[in-house]
Amino acid sequence: MSKPHILIFPAPAQGHITSMLKLAELLCAAPGFRVTFLVPAYIHRRLSNHSNATSRLRKLPFRLHPIPDNGHQEDIRPGSFDVKDWLDSLRMTAQPSLKELLADEGDPIDCVISDGILSFVLEAAEEAGVPVFYMRTLSACAFWVYFCLPHLIQTQELPFNSNELDLPMVNLRGMEGVLRRSDLPSCCRHGLDSRSMQTIMHQTLQTPRAKGLILNTFDHLEAPTLDLIRTRIPNLYTVGPLHAHLQTRLTAIPNSSSTSLWEEDKTCLKWLDEQPENSVIYVSFGSIVRVTVEERTEFWQGLVNSGKRFLWVVRPDSGGIIPPEIADGGMGRVVGWAPQEAVLAHPAVGGFLTHCGWNSTLESVVAGVPMVCWPHFGDQQVNSRFVDDVWGIGRDMKDCCDRVVVEKMVRDVMEDRGGEFRRRAGDMAKAARESVVEGGTSYSDLDRLIRDIRDLCNAI
Ligand code: UDP
């Protein structure tokens, strides 16, 4: 039997690493498969310190390979952060190691799975004659929007006036009547010259060059959009939710998979044990978003006024210290970084106030926990609209950060319309679990990906 050696290269950010590491683990479990996972040295250090991925994966044919970072250790930051500069600097530092690995005849690479925003990996692999699959770590609906940006420009729906954000989109195939201008990825608000928009559009348009596209989603959740993507990228693998998939496929390995780049504070699980069922709203805005002091005050006031207990993640690097009123709040608990999957699975958690990053959204879907969405940037604007308007499993605050709205939406999700949201979220969670067991769509697609990689390897 062939023994495929796969090189996986994620963009060095928590959300990208999390889902691509989970895919790596699933692939390593396929007989004969080996994975080399490429990360900059500073990410390697943080993963080794804070996640159990390295010890967990030690039992599998997996190698976490650090590439020199030459002092470039920048995490993605919204606002003044320049995604093009970030990708350019990654390309500069990664390229020598990447080329060396691709040329290594002693331990040849049979196939590359590249993050779909790293076209320099695609180019290097093409040059070396190694087949490449792309993986995007966002939702299918957000991917489709990025893919349609040239059409929106051509039909002059982009750029638009920032005081007409409520107008519905008319040229976005499949999403007419669903998305408004305000629901487009945040880069669309900054005009056609925006470097982030040009960069992400360019990266997305390279996708058809890859052998196929892997998405961390499942058919039941995004069927109409997946059908549209298949018209342009026929070889699509929907293998998510990956964290649930991992639990069903790798039952022999303990389930406490952590891919965190920060130290997890597990004491909050004990605190949750003491709270009544469905009584706590979990608050986290992921690994990138920075919340200003004013915004934090509005959230705190809204939460207190809602009368709900809360568990709030305030990252140590999220800009500022924890205000004493939050730290001392009798109804709440604050941590620097939580074991999020376990928190969402805890029976005490009845709602999730989230920025709607795709991993967080999927984790909430799998746990059947309704959401209050406060999208910040990138694909989050699209995801939050789908959570509210299409899937009906939460409320979307969109551009509003106001204590009255926070209170109203938290009450809606946890109390007034709580039964309705929980029922729909429960149905979606069931569909998610069904997709990752034998016979499910994601289970079959992962098998197909494994088969296709093996066939490619045999053909070399
Ligand atoms: N996460 C976590 N603990 C926290 C906050 C976040 O483990 O306290 C994880 C979360 O489970 C998710 C990831 O960090 O898997 C965040 O990814 P997402 O795509 O939601 O957002 P991003 O950080 O990319 O904005």
Q: What are phi and psi of 236, to 5 degrees?
A: -110, 135
CB burial class (10 A; 0-12, 13-18, 19+) of residue 139? buried
Tell me the one-letter amino acid at 302. G
CA of residue 186 to ligand 1 center, whole Å: 19
Q: How many CA atoms lie within 13 A of 403 on its CB side?
A: 12
Q: Are 418 and 350 in contact (CB under 8 A)?
A: yes
Instruction: Compute the Cα dihedral for 270, 271, 275, 277 and give only its sign.
Output: negative
Mutate which of 16, 17, 18 for ligand 1 pocket (most atoms within 8 A of beta carbon): 18
**How many degrees, rounded to 5, is the angle at CA 392 between CA 391 and CA 398?**
95
At residue 129, the pLDDT reads 96
Residue 326 has a pLDDT of 64
3-state class (DSSP) for residue 243: helix
Please report, in tens digits, the pLDDT of each residue of the chain (460 residues total): 678 999 999 999 999 999 999 999 999 999 999 999 999 999 999 888 888 877 778 788 999 999 987 766 666 565 567 888 889 999 999 999 999 999 999 999 999 999 999 999 999 999 999 999 999 999 999 999 999 999 999 999 999 988 899 999 999 999 998 999 999 999 999 889 888 899 999 999 999 999 999 999 999 999 999 999 999 999 999 999 999 999 998 865 555 668 888 889 999 999 999 999 999 999 999 998 888 889 999 999 999 999 999 999 998 777 655 666 666 557 889 999 999 999 999 999 999 999 999 999 999 999 999 999 999 999 999 999 999 999 999 999 999 999 999 999 999 999 999 999 999 999 999 999 999 999 999 999 999 999 999 999 887 6
pLDDT of residue 211: 97
Q: How far is the CA of 355 from the centre of ligand 1 (A)?
A: 10
- CB hemisphere CA count around 138 (13 angstroms): 24
Residues β-bridged to residue 181: none
Please tell me the distance from the alpha carbon of residue 90 to that of residue 39, in angstroms, as a whole number: 10
Which residues 6+ apart lie within 8 Å of 353 measured at CB?
Answer: 281, 282, 283, 284, 299, 303, 310, 371, 372, 374, 406, 410
Residue 358 beta carbon below 6 angstroms from any ligand 1 atom: yes
Please, where are the H alpha helices in 184-266?
195-205, 219-232, 242-249
Residue 19 alpha carbon, nearest atom of ligand 1: 15
Q: Which residues are catalytic?
A: 16, 115
Q: Is the pTM of this model over 0.85?
A: yes
Q: Closest Cα to residue 220, out of 385, 429, 449?
A: 429
Which residue, judged by its Cα, is nearest atom 24 of ligand 1? 15
Which atom of ligand 1 lies nearest, measured to the CA of 13? 24
Q: Please give the order of strands across the beta sheet that includes 213-215.
A: 62-67, 34-40, 5-9, 111-115, 132-136, 213-215, 236-238
b/e sequence 310-345, b meaning 16+ C-beta within 10 Å: bbbbbbeebeeebeeebeebeebbbbebbbbbbbbb
Cα of 250 vs its chain's centroid, Å: 21
Residue 286 alpha carbon to ligand 1 centre in Å? 4
Scanning the structure block, which residue is given the tokens 């699980």? 269
C-alpha distances out from residue 1 to 31, 33, 61, 400, 437, Å: 9, 10, 16, 56, 25
- Which residue has the least CA distance to atom 11 on ligand 1? 340
Ligand 1 pocket member 379 (CB < 6 A): no
In the reported structure, the alpha carbon of residue 337 is separated from the centroid of ligand 1 by a whole-number distance in angstroms of 9
All structural domains of the chain, each given as residue ranges with its CATH number in brackets, are 5-256+435-459 (3.40.50.2000), 267-433 (3.40.50.2000)
Determine which residue's CA is closest to atom 3 belonging to ligand 1.
338
